[in-house]
Amino acid sequence: MFQAFRRWRRRRIIERAALDPALWQATLAQLPFLAGLSAEDDERLRQTVILFLHTKSIHGAAGLEIEPAMQLLIAAQACILILNLDIDYYAGWVEVIVYPDEFVPKAEYVDEDGVVHTDLAPRAGEAWLQGPVILSWADVAPRADGDGVNVVIHEFAHKLDMLNGDANGFPPLHAGMSRRDWTAAFESAYADFCRRVDADEETAIDPYAAESPAEFFAVMSEAFFEMPATVRADYRVVYDQLARFYQQDPLQRRSAQVQ
């Protein structure tokens, strides 16, 4: 009964939404990593974006005006993660706050000696447990294809990770997935990646991934969508786990497009 009501309500939201088809196409054209979506995937992404925009409030900070095209660009990137999951993966919070550029969070932390420090490092994005996602517009705007850096995917991957508590690189897995396989894949890849970064090796994947298991999951998610061939070549087991978690195969999508 509840399921049926929810489906009906969603259908009504989608039918009533006025999403300009030209604006939608222009949005997709700016995101080369979304090239190769089948017609069904494209339609499902569009519907997910409508539900996302219906349930989230995207607003500017520090004087930034948010245009419809900006909302769509953020929503399309956020929704590719849940293309084959459900809009409820982003339930329980509402706000997306967008600064014009990198922002300095008022974050304080206490070290082992009890000294309070203020972290003044500028950030491109932040995701709060049960709270907002904060983004820098300068970093949301699309970059050259395939550099593997995508702040929207990064922060929304943290949101998925936080569905079962603090971000730790272990989101809630689907039925049929193995906690042991996930942990084995990510632990060995993380150890190898940290070794490479410590050895000053040039890595195609953003070295920020070495920061913590939570950052490793978020950065690998960015790379999974933006440069799937690299992730699969370097860390096949991680690619396979991410493909099961996100229930999609960006590499196959890309190769289907090339043929």
Beta carbon of residue 142, minimum distance to Zn ion (angstroms, whole number): 19
Chain residues that interact with Zn ion, rule: CB under 5 A: 215, 218
Nearer to Zn ion, 215 or 249 (CB): 215
Backbone angles phi, psi at 124, to 5 degrees: -90, -20
Instruction: Tell the smallest beta-carbon distance from residue 123 to Zn ion (Å).
Output: 9
* Assigned token pair, 255: 């190769």
Given the complex with Zn ion, which of 215 and 226 has the nearer CB atom? Answer: 215
- Complex with Zn ion: residue 51 or 169, whichever CB lies closer: 169
Residue facing Zn ion at closest CB distance: 218
Question: Closer to Zn ion at the Cβ: 45 or 162?
Answer: 162
Residue 100 is classified by DSSP as S
For residues 50 and 19, the answer to whether their CB atoms sit within 8 Å is yes
206 alpha-carbon distance from chain centroid: 15
Amino acid found at 24 = W
CB of 256 to Zn ion, least distance (A): 31
The least distance separating Zn ion from the CB of residue 175, rounded to whole angstroms, comes to 27
Burial class (CB in 10 A: 0-12, 13-18, 19+), 64: middle
